[in-house]
Chains A and B, each alone.
Chain A
Amino acid sequence: MQIYLPIAEVSVNAFLLLGLGGMVGILSGMFGVGGGFLMTPLLFFIGIPPAVAVATEANQIVASSFSGVLAHLRRKTVDLKMGVVLLIGGLIGAALGVLIFNYLKSLGQVDLLVRLCYVVFLGVIGGLMFIESLNAIRKTAKGTAIPKRKKHGLIHKLPFKMRFRVSGLYISVIPPLLVGLVVGILAAIMGVGGGFIMVPAMIYLLGMPTKVVVGTSLFQIIFVTAFTTMLHATTNYTVDVVLAVLLLVGGVIGAQIGTRIGVRMKAEQLRILLAIMVLAVCGKLAFDLLVMPSELFSIGAVEGH
């Protein structure tokens, strides 16, 4: 069934969009990532103009994250206090990110920089997670206990300490604020929720338990992507609500299924799957940059239009 999208001004198959939304929704629920890093390139691929894809994806992430976070709230796996701290950093970061994005746009080459950002961040994070979770799985298989993560480092010497009861942490608010800030900047530049960066940062930098990480990151993502949606809707007029509805109907159902799958899986398995997926997307993007494209030319709107 073909459907004409009013803002994107293209006609696409409605079932294809529902399917894509569902698939990405499952991943979103399982790993606590918004799924934007997968969905945005997929939307480019089916012919949605990039500006519309990025803006609409932000709106869709709000829906699937909301669905996911409710499931986590019921299970009490959301650290609201930590979420709020991350959110404050995130909103400041998103505003900064939009400024940086517009600056890069004026220089041209924003496309390339976004792609390079993806390759670098996905590569580093995916690689680290993969190695770490592989080691963890090996150790559990051998029957030896997983060594406790280092509890004493620079992070614990910082001032403004706060107790995060749900996460079982007593740390300074500066690291979570910074994590939120960096994620906010990247989210605005890369047009994603930023969960794939935040989840590992929360596990490895802040030392939060994996079970709490997913719900908390979804909580932060809702607000940051809602903010981004409003920015896009009021400045670029690129949020396509028909496209968003189709994606989110699939997405919210997928997110519910994903959350239930996630609960049944071991934390290490969850992490290694996410690592593999992140690395696969990274590999594909790197491949596209390195291999000569079949069409060297591309058509775009004139700058300033």
Chain B
Amino acid sequence: MPLTEQTMTEQTGPKTVGQLPNTSTSTPLAPAVFTRLVWTLFVASLGALVARQLTGGHWEIPGLAAVDGLTVLLWVVVTFFSGIVHSYSRRYMAGSEHITRFFTRLFAFTISVMVLVAADHVALFGAAWLAMGLVMADLIGTVRGWPQARAAAALARRYFLASSLFLGAALATLAWATGATTISGILTAVGTVPDATLLVAAGLLLLAAMVQSALVPFHSWLLSSMTAPTPASALMHAGFVNAGGILLLRFAPVVTADATFMLLVVVAGATSALLGKLLKAVQTDVKRKLGCSTTGQMGFMIAQAGLGFFGAAIAHLILHGFYKAYLFLSAGEQVEHTSPATSEPGTVTLVGGAVTVLTAVAGGALFALLTGKGTHFDSGLLLTGLISLTTLHATWTAVRHTDVPAAIRYGVVPLVFLPAIAVYAGVYTAVSAVLAGVPLVTAPAELTLVHGLVAVAFLAAYVAIETGLYQRSRRLYVALVNASQPSTGTLLTATEEYNEY
């Protein structure tokens, strides 16, 4: 009889029948080691940030790497996200046969981003950019034997190789035109480069940024990347896609050289921002919905850069990282039992309307006052206008909930939303302070017709969505659904393929 598991302790207790085997799963070393390492790096980065702020020091390995405000800030940010993802994965990925490889890739990704933001030599910068892409593609294909994961990884790899080629071409052009091999050297010599050459380089940089940040029309890799384990997706959406914004800030003197080109950046970003949100509206699965949202948010971030507010772009990518990492890591929470009935919102009284408008004005004013954006007649007005619109919408939505006590209805926005704007302003100011010294962190542009059109587009989108007007077009619906489909080869339509390896 298989009663071999009877141990000494059980002799006193009840007799054991049919005991299950002890599942003493071996715990590999890599998760614990890398998790400690990455948190150590986080503490060190934090120390470096503080030290740099206090001493104002500028550290460099001449010709190879240079540490400035952007470097230490992003070191802190990427090690924080990576630390969270490492700690989360220690429990989440427990028992996975891929766990050691998964953690080495997570850590390798972290290191490649840290190198990227510190790199001064163009070759090192290009290599880190490429490494970052290859490691991320590998994470998408973490489950080796799963054909759909392999297809998704291959697709992403092709995109990242293309972005590396764009970047390589841009770097080669700039190095050839300036004769410098370091980024700092190139940037100081930008004034000597012919406009046409600069425009070509800027165009290539924008393309590389758009691919890496998954902007429309380069969003397909991102929407086909859900074969990655959830924490890898969190890191991708909180860390990897930010590379586009970082690239544009690093080469801000090149990108901003031509004011018309900046308009192109704004249009590219705003298009993606609005399309990303529209794509999101038709999604039925949680992760692709988050993917579309990222495409939109990254578009907004690039648009902020295009408006000349690079600091705002960096603040946005950090805050978006918190938001999106949280939503990915909690993706399993979003299954609910719903009913097809929809509830009608209540009506708004005159007082409610007045409160709404006043709060929105206050929101915009607070934002302008604390961030300095929108206090001049320049592109910053767009950002202030947007925050006013958001405050307006929040208040409008809140006061219509007539089943909630009036004090809460009218109080929620002034008491919760306005402080939230203040917190954002605090983050923005802190980011700007740390970035002080990085070339061209804030370069507001003159308002042009294009800016006006972008503002109109946002307003039109707001009204269209609120009224549901856009939902009348079947053609638009189908176009959005099709534009957000993952590549066919990455769909698991025959579930027996999932574990036939």
Genuine A/B complex: no
**Chain B contact residues, CB within 8 Å of chain A:** none
**Chain A contact residues, CB within 8 Å of chain B:** none
